[in-house]
Chain A
Amino acid sequence: MILAIASGKGGTGKTTLSTNLASYISEKQKVTLADLDVEEPNSGLFLDVEKDLEKDMFKKIPEWKESECILCGKCQEWCKFNCIQVLGDEVMIFPEFCHTCHMCVDLCPGSALSFKDVRMGRLSKSHKGNLTFVESRLNIGEEQAVSLISQTIDYTENYADEDELIIVDAPPGAACPVMEVVDKSDFVILVTEPTPFGLNDLKIAVETMRVLNREFAVVINRYGIGNDDVISYCKAENIDILAKINNDRKLAELYSKGNLLYKHSENLREQLDLIIEKLHLLK
C-alpha cells in the first residue's frame, strides 16, 4: 500500500507527519518512506539513517547527428515544448524543456535524432532498523520534476516487499508533480492547519482528490491556532479528520533542530496511533 502525505499549502507539517509516522511505525514493523518533494527534499534532515546507496537519475533527451540531418525542420514543427530550433543549418536542442515524448526521435525522416541520457537528479536509499528511506533530489535549474518523481516511485515499489507499507512525502500544491504522486497512491492524507490560508489551500487539495477519485482524509496540524473553519468545512463536506496535532512551541523548537517529535510528545503519539488504527497500517 502506498500512503501519500500531501497538502495544498506548504509548511503545514507534511514532512513532520511523514517522518514521525514512518519512524513510529518502524518501531513495530518494516516500512519505507520516500521523499518525493524532489524540489525541496527535507525528510532526510529528521532521520538519523545510514546511507546504503546513491545514484544519478537521468532523463532522455534528443541528440542531433549533423551528418544524417536533411534539415527538413519537421522536428521543430512537431515539438510542442519549443525544445528544438532549426537555425540556419544547425539544429539546437534545449534539454530543460524536453518532456521526452519521443516524437522527434521516432519520426525523424533522416534518423538524425537519437536519445542520450542527461542527469536530472540524484536518488539515495538509506535505512535505520526497520525503516527504509528513499530520497530524490532534483538538480537546481531542472524544470521537469514529474519524471524524477515517477522514476523514484517505480524504484521504491520495486525495492519494497510486496505487502510493505510505503509512505510518500508528496510535493506541495495541486499541479502536475502532486498529481503524479496521488495517481500512484492508494490513500492520501491531506495535512492542513486551522487558518484561512490552510483552509483555502485544503479546498484546492480536496478538489484535486475528487478529480482523481482518490480516497483521502485530513490531519490538522498546529491545532489550537486560527479558528474552527477547517473543522466546519470537513464536517460539511463529510471529510474524515483522522487526527489533530496540538500546536506546541516546544515541538517547534525541536523541529527547528531537526528532531523527530513523537518521542517528546504524548499528544503526537496518541494522534499517530489514531491514524494507524483508522487506516489499519499495522499488519
Chain B
Amino acid sequence: MKEIVVISGKGGTGKTSITASFAKLGAEEIVVADCDVDAADMHLVMSPEVIHTEDYYSGFVAKIDENKCTQCGACIDTCQFDAISPEFNINQYKCEGCSYCSEICPTHAIKMQELCIGQYFISKSRMNNYLIHAKLGIGADNTGKLVAMVKKEARKIAEANNLNTILVDGSPGIGCPVLSSLTGANLVCIVTESSLSGFHDLQRVYEVAKRFKLKACCIINKHDLNTKLTKQIEDYLEKEGIIHLANLPYMANFSDAMVEGKTIVEKENTIHSQLIKDSWQKIKEIVV
C-alpha cells in the first residue's frame, strides 16, 4: 500500500485544488481521503455520493445529575478548564473530558459521557474513486483521532478493492492533525506559494515531516509573484533533498474551476492543467 499525503502548512496555497486534480487523474486506481477535517472541501469538487455514514465518538464530556448534586462546589474548584458555571452547568466546549470532577464529586452526581465529535462518510465520487471524508463537530477536540479514523477506513477500502494507492488531502498547521495525516505515509507532497508566509510555513511543516523520514516533493504555486523568493525556495528544496515537481504561475481565475465544481485539470489546454498532469506522473514514478 502506498500513501501520498498532500500538505501545505499555510492555508490558501492551492493544496485542496491540486489534491482534487490528482484525485481526478488517479481516477478508479486510487482511494482518496480528505483529512483536512477542520475545513473539508474536497467534496465540493468531487461530488461524492455517500454510501455509508458513521458517527465518531472520541473523548468524554461531564454531565451533572441535578437530583444528586448538592451544589457543594468541589467540581468548580477542581476544574482546570473553567468548564463548570456557578449555576453548575457544564460548558461542553470547555470541558476536556478529564473526569477529575466526576472522580471527586462527593455524591457521585457527575458521570462522564462519550462524546460524538463528528461523522465520517464513505462515498463514491464522480471521479470513480472512493472518497473517505469527515465532518468535525463545532469546537471538537481530537481532530487527530478523526484523521486517523479516516485514514484507517481508506486503507480498509483500498484493501477490499485491491487498490494500492491512497491519496490524502492533509491537515493544515503543524499540530496533532497533521501528525496523524503523515503517520504511515510513503510520500509527502508539500504545496507552497511564493510568499514569505508560504516559505516560512513550508520550513516549519517540513521540520514535522522530517521526523517521519519520508520522501518529500514540492509544488511552488504562484511562483511568478516573487521570482527572487521562488529561487530561494528552490535552493531550500535542493538543500533538503526535496524533489521539486513544478512551478505554477499565479492565476487570478484559479477559482473559476472551483466555481464550476471542477478541478483544475478539467480545464483543458491551460498551463496549470499540463503542469499538474506532469506532477502526478512524477509522483507515481516516485512511489513505485
Contact = CB atoms under 8 A, between A and B. Distances in A.
A107 interface: yes
A145 interface: yes
Interface in B213-242: 222, 225-226, 229
A15 interface: yes
Contact of B196 (A101, A140, A172, A256): A256
Contacts of A201: 39, 41
Given A45-B196, A255-B195, A143 B175 contact: yes
B73 interface: no
Contacts, number: 174
Given A175-B139, A201-B41, A11 B207 contact: no
B175 A197 contact: no
Interface size class, chain A? 35 or more
Interface size class, chain B? 35 or more
Most buried by A among B11, B81, B104, B222: B11
B100 to A, nearest CB: 4
Contacts of B143: 175
Nearest to B196: A258
B100 A101 contact: yes
Contact of B39 (A9, A100, A253, A255): A9
Interface stretch (A87-95, A205-213, A269-277): A205-213
Given A11-B11, A183-B94, 19 more contacts: A11-B12, A78-B100, A78-B103, A101-B80, A101-B81, A101-B100, A102-B80, A140-B208, A141-B211, A145-B175, A172-B11, A175-B38, A175-B136, A175-B140, A179-B139, A208-B138, A211-B139, A226-B259, A255-B195
**Which 6 pairs of residues, A with B, have the shortest CB-CB distance?**
A11-B12, A10-B11, A101-B98, A11-B11, A173-B38, A256-B195
7 contacts: A39-B173, A40-B9, A42-B197, A103-B100, A196-B41, A207-B138, A257-B195
